[in-house]
Structure 1
Amino acid sequence: MLDDFLVRAALAGVGLSLATGPLGAFVVWRRMAYFGDATAHAAILGVALALATDLPVAAGTLVVALAMAVAVAGLAAKGWALDTTLGVMAHSALAFGLVAVSFLPQVRTDLSAWLFGDILAVSKADLALIWGGAAAVVALLAWRWQALLASTLNEDLAHSAGIRPARERLVLVIALALVVAVALKVVGALLISAMLIIPAAAARGLARSPEGMALGAVAVGAVSALAGLRLSLWQDTPAGPSMVVAAAAVFAAAALFGRMRRP
């Protein structure tokens, strides 16, 4: 079965949605969309690092994404203007990565695959990495779920309950770096944030609990991945962007249904 590239692509999309669903819910709740962009854009610098040092691309991506996420979180904790800091670091990391790749004449790589994803070229090893990374993210979030919810709701109340919000932010930083590392092959550095935010935003108006929103985001992400692959096969469109288009369509339908349901 795994010899069929479409089956591997479908499994990759569903596996990615398992991680982006619950993490995307926290990204929406905490208004971390730009934070996710900065971490994802840094992935291109990680690709350059991996190609220059003969490391696995996933390892280079994980190291640089984690470094970017920790740096941004540390600067925000010191009172830096978060929107400006994220804007500078996100675009600088992307530019540095693109320039760094041009200094590797011995490397011939299609940057569009890293920018927009190449899910149809996912191998069995990539599939194992995606599902393994997704399982690690889900396990991490499930372990810290209540503490993450408490610190998201109110940091002062979390402190009074013996929870350290700084530690919970670090958990989210690690989870975000893992998702960037596993999602790069699927949707690329420029579209990772879309698969974090859009399914969670679509599920938000229909869910009745935080857990319901997380599960709904997983479902929307999986449906979007499969529908995007179908659109790509039918109309010969890029697979990664097609998945985002499908997610946007689901979001629009969910928003319309939510508006109609209100008294």
Structure 2
Amino acid sequence: MSVFLDSFLMRAALAGLGVALAAAPLGCFVVWRRMAYFGDATAHASIMGVALALSFSMSIFVGVLAVCLIMATTISTLSGRGYAMDTLLGVIAHSSLAIGLIAVSLIQDVRVDLMSYLFGDILAVNKTDLMVIWGGALLVLVLIWWRWSGLLLSTLNPDLARASGIDPKREQLILTLALSVVVAVAIKVVGVLLIAAMLIIPAASARPFANTPERMVLIAACLGGLAALGGLQASYHFDTPTGPSIVCLAAIFFTASGMTHWIKTRLHA
């Protein structure tokens, strides 16, 4: 097993698969709840977590997770107090990214490769990173599996969820926690600027082919995994940035999905 993981390409492939599996179910809920901007804001805020972790010589995962949770709590507190949600998310997303970049640049005696945090550096994933990524992915999958019925019902009909004894705000908190974990583990693979894409694009691509929520999650996981492996392969052969290559392939899948759905609709019209 140790020899198997000594190949940097194998470690990169496993890291990409781990992120794809974690992002698939969560991305479906992001699409269903129309929370795309929320995912983007959480990802942008994560750069402040990087600065926090480097300043206090702590794990990047812990720093990013802490900041993402604080950001999500802040948004939940401020929403409904005179601010439109999209405006609030826009302000927090861009200002937190700017503050984080400035904070990272001010850190003394620490050499920081900002490009690797902004766009990911999957080829530099080590065995410890793999443990963190797969540990986070398993945590998210267990959390979603445990709360699947409650999350789904509160997504489809919050009033019916309350009548069934399910608190939609609690389910929202669980979803926020899972989203923060995914952002924390994905930052090494695709970077701050592309995390939201890996959440949204595979799920959106799977939507036309799924007639049940469970099937949509499975198809999104497959498409995310194929995008991760195919993007890694393309990056290796064409010497292109790996994170953007993965997202570009996911975008191709989305385009193909949309065209296929359009053709099927025309044929059955």
Same fold (TM over 0.5): yes
Corresponding residue number in structure 2 for 1:145: 148
Corresponding residue number in structure 2 for 1:232: 235
Give me the whole-angstrom Cα distance separating, in 2, the residues matched to 1:70 and 1:215: 30
Corresponding residue number in structure 2 for 1:17: 20
CA distances 1:93-145 after superposition (whole Å, capped 9, x unpaired): 10000001121121111100000000000000000100000000000011110
Corresponding residue number in structure 2 for 1:41: 44
54, 65, 77: which one pairs with 1:62? 65
Give me the whole-angstrom Cα distance separating, in 1, the residues matched to 2:256 and 2:194: 21
Matches for 1:21-170 after TM superposition, within 5 Å = 21-78=24-81, 80-170=83-173
Alpha-carbon deviation of 1:79? Answer: 5.4
Alpha-carbon deviation of 1:256? Answer: 1.1
TM-score, normalising length from structure 1?
A: 0.98
Matched, 1:188 2:230: no
The letter of the residue matching 2:134 is: W
Alpha-carbon deviation of 1:163? Answer: 0.7
Give me the whole-angstrom Cα distance separating, in 1, the residues matched to 2:77 and 2:176: 11
Corresponding residue number in structure 1 for 2:211: 208
Question: Which segment is superposed worse, 34-43 or 76-85?
Answer: 76-85
The letter of the residue matching 1:124 is: K
Give me the whole-angstrom Cα distance separating, in 1, the residues matched to 2:141 and 2:40: 21
Give me the whole-angstrom Cα distance separating, in 2, the residues matched to 1:77 and 1:130: 35
252, 255, 260: which one pairs with 1:252? 255
CA distances 1:187-217 after superposition (whole Å, capped 9, x unpaired): 0000000000000000001111000001111
Alpha-carbon deviation of 1:77? Answer: 4.8
Q: Structure 2: which 5+ residue stretches go unaligned? A: none
CA distances 1:8-42 after superposition (whole Å, capped 9, x unpaired): 00000111111100000000000001100111011
Give me the whole-angstrom Cα distance separating, in 1, the residues matched to 2:192 and 2:78: 23
Alpha-carbon deviation of 1:260? Answer: 1.6
TM-score, normalising length from structure 2?
A: 0.96
Q: Structure 1: which 5+ residue stretches go unaligned? A: none
Alpha-carbon deviation of 1:71? Answer: 1.2
177, 181, 184: which one pairs with 2:180? 177
Alpha-carbon deviation of 1:74? Answer: 2.3
Give me the whole-angstrom Cα distance separating, in 1, the residues matched to 2:14 and 2:258: 27
* Alignment RMSD (CA, Å): 0.9
Q: Secondary structure at the match of 1:55?
A: coil
Which structure 1 residue ranges, 4+ long, deviate > 3 Å from structure 2? none
CA distances 1:210-254 after superposition (whole Å, capped 9, x unpaired): 000011110010000011001101110000000000000011111
The letter of the residue matching 2:120 is: G
Give me the whole-angstrom Cα distance separating, in 2, the residues matched to 1:19 and 1:128: 14
Q: Percent identity?
A: 58
Alpha-carbon deviation of 1:78? Answer: 4.3
* Distance change (3 Å), C-alpha of 1:111 and 1:228: same
